[in-house]
């Protein structure tokens, strides 16, 4: 029973880490990153369709994305969807492909993005600490119901803490790497 509590906590922490990675992938670094378009849904024949399912997205230059739709008739719809997604990006439609140029980031804007990364990292850490608290509360309930001993409670609590420390180190590493990317010119 305590092992399942720890395994469930580990799974929840891994999911929190994945959400954090996805969140910071959307933060611009001054370089073209196709993941910025992951949230864009195009109205394609009346159905909201993810952009990456209806076109190929490539990075021909460090500061440019090129979107080549499988159906050329959807160019206008893709352009509208990118503008509607409010990503502060301007699509350039040449009739065959759509190009998106990423403007160079100012020093002030880079610092704002770094703050955003730190904020997201801290909220992910808080979520993980809440997972730890839930796990320890469940373990204390088992001890109260005499299903585990006080010593076992301490050992399992230590295991949960070690798990938390490991996952927080992963968040710190991801955040540091993203900050370096953002501050890189």
* pLDDT for the residue numbered 155: 93
Burial of 131 (0-12, 13-18, 19+ CB in 10 A): buried
Q: Model confidence over 21-78: pLDDT tens digits?
A: 988 887 777 777 888 888 889 988 888 989 888 999 988 888 889 999 998 888 888 9
Domain 2-26+106-183 has CATH 3.40.50.970: no
Contact 52, 34 (CB under 8 A): yes
Q: Model confidence over 119-143: pLDDT tens digits?
A: 999 999 999 999 999 999 999 999 9
Residue with tokens 């206008």: 76
pTM score of the predicted model: 0.75
Domain boundaries defined on the chain: 2-26+106-183, 34-101
Q: Model confidence over 98-108: pLDDT tens digits?
A: 999 887 778 88
Distances in whole angstroms, Cα of residue 102 to Cα of each of 57, 61, 62, 169 = 14, 10, 9, 31
**Does the pLDDT of residue 185 top 70, yes or no?**
no
Q: Do 2-26+106-183 and 34-101 agree at the fold level? A: no
* pLDDT for the residue numbered 73: 87
Domain 34-101 maps to which CATH number in 1.10.357.140, 3.50.40.10, 3.30.1360.40, 3.20.20.70?
3.30.1360.40
């Amino acid at each position: 029973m305590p092992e399942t509590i720890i395994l469930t906590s580990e799974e929840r922490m891994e999911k929190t880490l994945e959400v954090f990675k996805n969140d910071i992938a959307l933060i611009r670094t001054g370089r073209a990153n196709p993941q910025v378009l992951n949230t864009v849904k195009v109205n394609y024949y009346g159905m909201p369709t993810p952009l990456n399912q209806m076109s190929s997205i490539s990075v021909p230059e460090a500061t440019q994305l090129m979107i080549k739709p499988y159906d050329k008739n959807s160019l206008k719809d893709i352009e509208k969807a990118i503008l509607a997604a409010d990503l502060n990006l301007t699509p350039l439609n040449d009739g065959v492909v759509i190009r998106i140029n990423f403007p160079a980031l100012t020093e002030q804007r880079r610092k704002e993005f770094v703050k955003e990364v730190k904020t997201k990292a801290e909220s992910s850490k808080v979520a993980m600490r809440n997972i730890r608290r839930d796990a320890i509360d469940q373990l204390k309930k088992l001890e109260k119901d005499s299903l585990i001993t006080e010593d076992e409670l301490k050992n399992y609590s230590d295991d949960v803490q070690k798990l938390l420390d490991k996952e927080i180190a992963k968040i710190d590493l991801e955040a540091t790497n993203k900050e370096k990317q953002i501050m890189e010119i």
